[in-house]
């Protein structure tokens, strides 16, 4: 469970509007959000604090490693029943992992690994994990092209297009030149990963920079696309209690059309093309198993084969290990 979550958490249109506003720009000021929702700034701030304190949501300052030349791998580990949870927790403590799930009755671990170099990738996949006796099988696939990310999830849409557009941050600069991070960025990014809404004043105190330097550096990192502020919402607070990881095989000629259609479904939070025996991976968050069944039987046209692994427990969301 993610924090001291208590149902019901989402109360009304203000809550849903707040979620959508934070999905559009996780670092938008409460003044901007309040104006968009037609409520007072105090009301918007109070609603946010309540949802944050119950564990319903958080904002993550996420690094886009692809723009630094990193590879992202989806790793599946089949383990002995007694070892799966300890293995997932050990992976979650690594800085290079995110979105770690226990699936398939708790005997399989799925993790995203962001590898900055071939050396770090090989160390984990070829040396460290294979030496773990409780690991019975390993598969790894490179994510090639994303069609839906949790930050794009249509299930949170609530504001009308004009109000949503008013909150949208400036587009990322298109530039093919190599991007780099400064060593001094590391403490800033660590703080923003912990809480993407940490104030500039607090960030200045923790990094030793001036407030103006913090703001200028965040603006630069956002403009280049290296840093984005993503809303992480626990699906259960929206009544979505059937979650699953899907691996799909699609004819290459149909891959883009199928992935695009799947990404538009409100029950689908993530879709990416991959290498490997299957060429699409997706995550679904449905109201119940009947809704999951409808997704699998009515909305997967063009799919030759699909493997469904129900999510038993989420160990790490984004880049943060969750409380037990």
252 in a structural domain: yes
Q: Residue 302 contacts by C-beta under 8 Å, 6 or more apart in sequence?
A: 250, 251, 254, 257, 258
| pLDDT band of 320, cuts 50, 70, 90 | low
Q: What is the mean pLDDT of residues 232-245?
A: 92
Q: What is the mean pLDDT of residues 168-190?
A: 84
Tens digit of each residue's pLDDT (9 = 90 or more) over 114-124 = 888 777 777 88
Q: Residue 26 contacts by C-beta under 8 Å, 6 or more apart in sequence?
A: 59, 60, 196, 197, 228, 229, 230, 231
Domain count for the chain, please give it.
1
13 in a structural domain: no
Average pLDDT, the chain: 89
Tens digit of each residue's pLDDT (9 = 90 or more) over 247-268 = 999 999 999 999 999 999 999 9
Tens digit of each residue's pLDDT (9 = 90 or more) over 117-175 = 777 777 887 678 877 888 899 999 999 999 998 878 989 999 999 999 999 998 888 77
**How many CB atoms are closer than 10 A to CB 46?**
13
298 in a structural domain: yes
User: For the whole model, what pTM was predicted?
Assistant: 0.88
**Which pLDDT score is estimated for 323?**
44
Assign residue 307 the CATH number of its domain: 3.30.70.920
Q: Residue 232 contacts by C-beta under 8 Å, 6 or more apart in sequence?
A: 57, 58, 59, 60, 150, 317, 318
Domain enclosing residue 245, as ranges: 239-317
Tens digit of each residue's pLDDT (9 = 90 or more) over 58-79 = 999 988 888 888 889 999 999 9
**How many CB atoms are closer than 10 A to CB 104?**
20
- Whether 273 shows a pLDDT value over 60: the answer reads yes
303 in a structural domain: yes
């Amino acid at each position: 469970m993610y924090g001291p979550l208590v149902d019901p958490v989402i109360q009304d249109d203000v809550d849903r509007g707040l979620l959508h506003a934070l999905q559009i720009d996780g670092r938008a000021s409460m003044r901007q959000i309040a104006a968009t929702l037609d409520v007072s700034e105090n009301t918007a701030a109070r609603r946010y604090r309540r949802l944050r304190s119950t564990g319903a949501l958080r904002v993550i300052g996420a690094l886009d490693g692809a723009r630094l030349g990193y590879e992202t791998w989806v790793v599946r580990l089949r383990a002995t029943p007694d070892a799966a949870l300890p293995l997932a927790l050990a992976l979650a403590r690594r800085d290079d992992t995110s979105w770690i799930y226990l699936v398939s009755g708790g005997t399989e671990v799925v993790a995203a690994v962001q590898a900055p170099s071939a050396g770090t990738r090989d160390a984990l996949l070829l040396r460290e994990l294979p030496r773990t006796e409780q690991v019975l099988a390993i598969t790894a696939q490179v994510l090639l092209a994303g069609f839906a990310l949790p930050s794009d999830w249509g299930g949170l849409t609530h504001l009308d297009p004009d109000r949503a557009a008013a909150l949208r941050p400036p587009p990322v600069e298109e530039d093919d030149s190599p991007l780099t991070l400064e060593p001094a960025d590391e403490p800033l990014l660590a703080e923003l990963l912990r809480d993407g809404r940490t104030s500039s004043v607090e960030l200045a105190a923790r990094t030793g920079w001036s407030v103006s330097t913090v703001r200028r550096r965040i603006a630069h990192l956002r403009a280049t696309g290296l840093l984005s502020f993503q809303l992480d919402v626990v699906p259960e607070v929206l009544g979505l209690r059937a979650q699953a990881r899907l691996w799909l095989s699609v004819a290459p000629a149909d891959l883009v059309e199928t992935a695009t259609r799947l990404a538009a479904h409100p029950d689908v939070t993530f879709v990416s093309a991959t290498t490997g025996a299957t060429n699409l991976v997706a995550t679904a968050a449905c109201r119940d198993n009947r809704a999951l069944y409808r997704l699998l039987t009515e909305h997967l046209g063009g799919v030759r084969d699909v493997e469904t692994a129900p999510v038993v427990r989420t160990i790490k969301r984004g880049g943060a290990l969750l409380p037990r």
